[in-house]
Structure 1
Amino acid sequence: MAGTQKRVVRSDVWIDGAFDARLKREPGVSVGVFPIRGNPAAAWDQLSAAHVYHVSAAKDELPQEWFARADLLARCPQLLCVSSSGAGYDTVDVAACTAAGVIVVNQAGGNAPSVAEHALGLMLGVSRRMLESDRRMRRERGFSREDVMGHEIGGKTLGLVGIGHTGSRVARLAQAFGMQVLATDPLLSAEEIARRGAKSVSLPELLAQSDIVSLHCPRDASTMKMMNADTFAQMKKGAIFISTARGGIHDEAALVQALRSGHLAGAGLDVWDQEPPPLDHPLLAMDNVFATFHTAGVTHEARRNVATIAAEQIAGLLAGERPPRLVNPEAWAAYEKRRAQILR
């Protein structure tokens, strides 16, 4: 059946229109959209026949029944690929996909410029005490400008935990401010880290030497709670902690204590254990914490770029190409066999 229709299915979680527009131009490819609430029968009707499931990467916006886990895979016998809508894939059980011969792809790098800009914005906001000044301007009078006096980031040392797509861009932006950049990344050689704009050091060295520590690593078993009471204690007194990576990599309770004790001067956080965090979260009560709602990569430009990359990658793999952002290459051989059987 050479004319087998190739079915791409996604949920009705918001996505830039570039995704559907690109795939609808692809011969022999259809795009189906299912509701995440209110009509599970309609959702399963779409998913059970899908060849590609483009799943939202937002773990706290997508109901867990639509996560790409073993139970969902079992109900989707023709599924060949799970495509995450972002660089992360918290809604995807990669091991279960691999066991089922389903490849997983992400959109790594698609929003890197936006995330890098946001990280620098958090650094500036905390270091210059911009948020604190803004809050006090709105609620009180009688304080002096020196009461909210901050520090320049120029000449300071920035430590990057991870120097991939986003970390590399942060390194270049930081150099423009005259910062010294250190980085640790277990996946890269010292030479490659230097090529990306930083000096390679160990994590303990980075924590001890950096005025600002910024996370740009994936969330996985090796990084969960990597920033904890011990690692925060290893940071310089008066240092600033920044994360635009993923919630769970830093221990929120330990960060509260590091800030309350005065060991750390402030924090800029775009990611949380629960997104958004509860209104009574202690970090939200601190004027030296710049808090945002996982919006570092949420710009008009980034959303369109990620949607376009995702659609191009799906179009390519349905045409028989090996996708450039393959998360589980170990599943490729099984995927190819299944693809030949299912699409003929």
Structure 2
Amino acid sequence: MNAPTALAQRLRVARLDLWIDPAFDDAIGQDASLDLQVLPANGDAVTAAGLAGAHAYHVSAAKDEVPARWQVSADLLAQCPQLLCVSSGGAGYDTVDVAACTRAGVAVVNQAGANAASVAEMTFALLLSLVKRLGESDAALRAGTAVSREALMGHEIEGRVFGIVGIGEIGRRAARIAAGFGLRVIAYDPLVPPAQIVERGAEPVSFDTLLEQADIVSLHCPLDAVTRGMFDASAFQRMKRGALFISTARGGIHDEDALLAALESGHLAGAGLDVWKVEPPPPRSGLLQRPDVIAAYHTGGVTHEGRRKVARGSATQIMDMLAGRQPARLLNPEVWPRFLQRLAECGVNPQQG
């Protein structure tokens, strides 16, 4: 890139034409130093050219929403020499290769915490639907096959052990809600010191202990090289017989075939799933055929409030970065000095940002 002494043109912010709360476009549009470009997700030359000239790229965090060629890979970065920063539209960043961005001098942010309340609430929507057998009751009433209330008898959760895997922004909210239901809360998170786990409302335990003790196992960890396939056949068999499995995290952390086998054998009593390996899952998926599975289409964080917070957070962090201010949710802080150098080459003086 050339290194002008003054900002000769507005910096370009690009996003695909996938749905986003209007708060994002409104915020970017109010910044006179920025130019927003909305590119077709199903486009080719137009989208490639738009991204090649972009300084910032906002991308959905859902891998099944974003065509592979527009996900932030090393190949895409090679075609986008002016790209300075990337914003993932969620707490996850499955569509962004953060290591490749770091090598390219590209700063990456996510929106961790923006939709945490929505996802934590979904955790208990799934759990309560499961133990109260709401899906079965609804189906029986609509079909006219309901015989007696006792035939649809459910359970209470008070007094059970609620095991959290990953006690970050969402996990800590889940812990607080669980305490309100009278659950004993335990948590496993190798990235959070035991004292902080206690501060977040849970008793710190090892992964094996959590599997052995929890009546309900709830996933709130990111999908990465460590957690991918974490819940396999062995993990499900180590869970308590009759336990429930809940995930509002990411598909791929649990093995769907192994979960199905654990349910079919009667080892587990049920599952509540908001995330899938392929989204949406095939209608004939074995898990979707079972009355002891409550299913949702990765809508835990898809609330009006959650999406608005994510959109505002994304816009704010992009505006911060392009003004030379370090953002709140920088995933690769080691890149920041190089990012500032590249930003200065575009004519932005961070000291004035």
TM-score, with structure 1 as normaliser: 0.97
Counterpart for residue 182 of structure 1: 186
Contact 1:158 1:182 in 2 (8 A): yes
Shift of 1:16: 0.4
Counterpart for residue 215 of structure 1: 219
One-letter code of the match for 2:21?
Answer: D
Shift of 1:276: 0.1
| Gap runs ≥5 in structure 2 | 349-353
Number of equivalent positions: 343
Shift of 1:279: 0.8
One-letter code of the match for 2:36?
Answer: V
Counterpart for residue 278 of structure 2: 274
Structure 1 range deviating more: 233-242 or 128-137: 128-137
Contact 2:87 2:109 in 1 (8 A): yes
Of 286, 296, 302, which residue of structure 2 is paired with 1:298? Answer: 302
Paired residues for 1:232-271 under 5 Å? 232-271=236-275
Of 101, 107, 130, which residue of structure 2 is paired with 1:103? Answer: 107
Distance 2:281 2:143 in 1: 24
Are 1:29 and 2:31 an aligned pair? no
Q: Secondary structure at the match of 2:174?
A: helix
One-letter code of the match for 1:123?
Answer: L
Contact 1:190 1:200 in 2 (8 A): yes
Distance 1:30 1:141 in 2: 58
One-letter code of the match for 1:201?
Answer: V
Contact 2:322 2:343 in 1 (8 A): no
Counterpart for residue 351 of structure 2: none
Q: Secondary structure at the match of 1:172?
A: helix
Q: Secondary structure at the match of 1:343?
A: coil
Shift of 1:343: 3.5
Q: Secondary structure at the match of 1:314?
A: helix
Of 275, 287, 290, which residue of structure 1 is paired with 2:291? Answer: 287
Counterpart for residue 15 of structure 1: 20
Contact 1:276 1:293 in 2 (8 A): yes
Shift of 1:142: 5.6
Q: Secondary structure at the match of 2:14?
A: strand
Of 196, 203, 224, which residue of structure 2 is paired with 1:192? Answer: 196
Distance 2:146 2:289 in 1: 22
Are 1:332 and 2:331 an aligned pair? no
Shift of 1:141: 2.4
Structure 1 range deviating more: 8-17 or 55-64: 55-64
**Deviations 1:40-86 (Å, cap 9, x if unpaired)?**
12112211111101011111111111001111111111101011111
Contact 2:137 2:146 in 1 (8 A): no
Are 1:67 and 2:71 an aligned pair? yes
Identity of aligned residues (%): 56
**Deviations 1:198-254 (Å, cap 9, x if unpaired)?**
000011111111110000000000000101111111111111000000000000000
Distance 1:60 1:260 in 2: 28
**Deviations 1:12-43 (Å, cap 9, x if unpaired)?**
00100000101111121111110011x31211
One-letter code of the match for 1:27?
Answer: A
Distance 2:163 2:293 in 1: 19
Distance 1:249 1:241 in 2: 12
Distance 2:17 2:213 in 1: 46
One-letter code of the match for 1:156?
Answer: R
Distance 1:320 1:41 in 2: 31
Counterpart for residue 158 of structure 2: 154
TM-score, with structure 2 as normaliser: 0.95
Counterpart for residue 205 of structure 1: 209
Distance 1:137 1:234 in 2: 37
Distance 2:212 2:314 in 1: 39
Paired residues for 1:34-45 under 5 Å? 34-37=39-42, 39-45=43-49
Q: Secondary structure at the match of 1:297?
A: coil
Shift of 1:317: 1.1
One-letter code of the match for 2:18?
Answer: V
Structure 1 range deviating more: 84-93 or 239-248: 84-93
Structure 1: which 4+ aligned runs deviate by more than 4 Å? none
Contact 1:316 1:323 in 2 (8 A): yes
Are 1:48 and 2:52 an aligned pair? yes
CA RMSD in angstroms, aligned pairs only: 1.1
